[in-house]
Amino acid sequence: MVLKLKTAFKNIKVIVVTELLLMVVMVSTIVVKADAINDRRVVSTPLKLATLKTISTDSNSNEVTGTKATISDAETERDIKVADDKRASIISFAKQYIGKPYVLGGKSLTNGCDCASFITLVYKEYGYNWKIGSVNTLYDHCGGTTVSVDDMKPGDIIFFGRGNKRLHVAMYAGNGRIVHAMDPSHDICEIDLYRPGTKTTYSGKSILEVKRIIN
């Protein structure tokens, strides 16, 4: 009887110990899983924040770039309008003297001037203080940028001649016309640059160079 009780007690101890071991294993598993979940949460949250920050930074960068481009375009359009308005003003001013006399060596828009002094005096009204003199003097002092005949704009200065010799100068007025102090027979006038239906200039002289003063 005593032996049976001892055996039964041992079996109970084994069962209890086994159950305790199983509980320890289960608890450990739960703790490990919980830690793993917490680890994933800790890791995933900064990743999401980093992603959001990156997107926000890229968006702001694009907005800044777009703003700069818009400002640059607006400034370019403004500069073009200012230049166009100035060209139109110069041509309008020059045309006020149509009919005034041509005087070789003259230095007055009202009392008389020649082709070079006419251009020099018109531009002087807009702050360009070039030395007054011959066609070559004007060419040497006006500066500007050389442009093609096909790209002429109002206010551009056209130098005419034969060979390499500069003989006359006029101002392009737009729409295929020029304004200049032509000669004693025509005085200051506005005429077509080319003879009708041709690319021959009104005088037969060649266009040696076109200079743009207002860019």
pLDDT tens digits for 153-165? 999 999 999 999 9
In a shared domain, residues 75 and 121: no
pLDDT tens digits for 76-127? 888 899 999 999 999 999 999 999 999 999 999 999 999 999 999 999 999 9
What's the CA gap between 63 and 51, in Å, rounded? 18
Q: Which of 71, 95, 119 is the last residue of a domain?
A: 95
In a shared domain, residues 81 and 139: no
In a shared domain, residues 47 and 152: no
pLDDT number for residue 30: 45
Q: Which residue has the higher pLDDT, 181 or 14?
A: 181
Domains in the chain, number? 2
Of the pLDDT bands very low, low, confident and very high (cuts 50, 70, 90), residue 73 is confident
In a shared domain, residues 59 and 154: no
Whole-prediction pTM: 0.68
For residue 200, what are the domain limits? 99-212
In a shared domain, residues 111 and 208: yes
